[in-house]
Amino acid sequence: MNCPTSSAASFIPPQTLLQKPPPPWICPISLGPNRWGLFDVTGNVSEWCRDRHVSYARPTRWGDGLRDDPAARYRVARGGCYLHWAAKARIALREHFTPNFTSAGLGLRPALGTTK
C-alpha cells in the first residue's frame, strides 16, 4: 500500500473519501484498542457537548462542571474530525456552532449512565 506522508495526508477533501472504491492512498490505520476496548475514537468526528460556548472566565456550575448561559447562541463541539487539517485533529480542539448546524464530521458519543 502506498500511503502518503503525514504532511501529504494532512487534509483529505471530503469528496475523495466518498469515492468508490477509495483511492489506493487512503490507508486504514489503527493504533489498537484503548483501555475500554474502543478503536480509533479520536479524529472520527467532532463531538457535540452539553455546554454552551461561553468564556472560560465564567464559573463552572457545582456538581457537573457545566458552564452554562441560556442566552448563549452557540453550542460547543470538541475534538477534531477526519475533515480537519492535521493540526486541528486533536482532542483539545474547541469549536462552536449553532444548535441546528449539521456536518458529516460532527456527531455525538452515546453513553450509558451509571447506577449507584
CB 43, CB 11: distance < 8 Å? no
pTM assigned to the model: 0.59
Residue-level pLDDT at 23 = 58
Say if residue 75's pLDDT is above 50: yes
pLDDT digits 0-9 by tens, 6-44: 444 445 555 655 556 655 555 555 667 777 776 666 677
Q: Which residues contact 2 (CB under 8 A, 6 or more apart)?
A: 24, 25
Between residues 61 and 109, which one has the greater pLDDT? 61
Q: Residue holding cell 471530503?
A: 14
**Element holding 48 (H helix, E strand):** strand 46-52
**27-31, 51-55, 78-82 — which is least confidently predicted?**
27-31
Nearest Cα to 80, choosing from 11, 31, 6, 1?
11
In whole angstroms, how large is the CA radius of gyration of the chain?
17
pLDDT at 24: 57
What is the pairing mode between strands 94-97 and 75-78? antiparallel
Q: What is the average pLDDT value for the chain, to the nearest integer? A: 75
